Amino acid sequence: MNQDNIVIRQEIPSDYAAVEHLTREAFWNVYRPGCLEHYVVHVLRHDPAFVPELDLVMEREGELIGHVLYTRSFITANDGRRIPTMTFGPISIRPDLQRQGLGKYLLDRSMEQAAELGAGALCIEGNLDFYGKSGFVVAGTRGIRYHGEPEQEIVPYFLLKELRPGFLDGVTGVYHTPQGYYVDEAAAEAFDRDFPPKEKKRLPGQLF
Ligand SMILES: CC(C)(COP(=O)(O)OP(=O)(O)OC[C@H]1O[C@@H](n2cnc3c(N)ncnc32)[C@H](O)[C@@H]1OP(=O)(O)O)[C@@H](O)C(=O)NCCC(=O)NCCS
């Protein structure tokens, strides 16, 4: 991948509309007919768990080509401790530029910044095919469970990565998705009406 002319910087308010548009384009009909993620981005910016320093846009020659944001999350450890983690997402690459290494580049650079900010580990829901290339493992294999899943269940989509080696040594417990990700679907529908009309399609591989 050619990294020339690529800039990754913090999002500013004048980016908001373009970032929401990009997110909508990237997620549309991927996991459900239509998508909610552009509304998730819109809502999370005002969430207490939001990490402004890690709300990042990627540009090439001044054009917006990617975005990722991070939130603070935690694991309730079986010994009673509350272990701080971070979570990221939505992460989006402009559809016509996907599968060229840009998503991995944005993710890897953003994780370096998260480590500099002091994050010890990241927990996410996602596809190991993509995130495995950046060092994520199935969290259940490290004794971290996804909230709501049965005790013995190892869910393949719940992943983690230590940013500080050993950060999760001796930790077992349950991870909680930050509440801000659970948006109201009717509110998301209403929000979407301000965007250009786009056909919702039921496609193979969707989760919802
Ligand atoms: C997911 C996304 C951010 C990845 O960015 P990208 O630039 O397309 O991915 P990269 O080219 O950096 O991928 C690196 C590797 O990860 C894997 N990978 C990437 N996207 C994948 C996908 N959708 N399914 C399976 N593997 C994937 C591939 O192995 C890829 O290498 P390859 O193309 O040489 O096989 C981007 O495709 C996107 O915006 N998708 C729509 C929104 C989305 O699904 N976001 C993530 C939600 S969890």
In 3D space, the residue among 115, 66, 65 whose CA is nearest the CA of residue 91 turns out to be 66
Whether the per-residue pLDDT at 150 is higher than 90: the answer is no
Q: Which of 99, 102, 122 to mutate to test the pocket of ligand 1 (most atoms within 8 A of CB)?
A: 99
Mean pLDDT in the chain?
Answer: 96
Identify the pLDDT of residue 4: 82
Q: What 3-state DSSP class applies to 131? A: helix
Contacts of residue 90, defined as CB under 8 A and 6 or more positions apart, other chains included, come to 23, 26, 27, 37, 40, 41, 67, 68, 69
Q: Which residues surround ligand 1 with Cβ inside 6 Å? A: 26-27, 30, 89, 91-93, 98-104, 126-127, 129-130, 133
Identify the pLDDT of residue 3: 82
pLDDT tens readout for residues 91-116: 999 999 999 999 999 999 999 999 99
**Residue found by looking up tokens 């002091």 in the block:** 118
Percentage of the chain lying above the pLDDT 70 cut: 100
Pull the structure tokens for residue 59: 């540009």
- Arithmetic mean of pLDDT, 26-55: 98
- Arithmetic mean of pLDDT, 74-98: 98
pLDDT tens readout for residues 139-149: 999 999 999 88
- Arithmetic mean of pLDDT, 167-177: 96
- Arithmetic mean of pLDDT, 45-70: 97
Which atom of ligand 1 lies at the shortest distance from residue 131's CA? 16
Distance, CA 98 to ligand 1 centroid (Å)?
7
What domains are defined for the chain?
6-182 (3.40.630.30)
Burial class (CB in 10 A: 0-12, 13-18, 19+), 56: buried
Contact 19, 11 (CB under 8 A): yes
Identify the pLDDT of residue 153: 82
| Residue whose CA is at the smallest distance from ligand 1 atom 10 | 101
Band of pLDDT at residue 158, cut at 50, 70 and 90: very high
Whether the per-residue pLDDT at 133 is higher than 90: the answer is yes
- Phi, then psi, of 95 in degrees rounded to 5: -50, -40
- Arithmetic mean of pLDDT, 167-173: 97
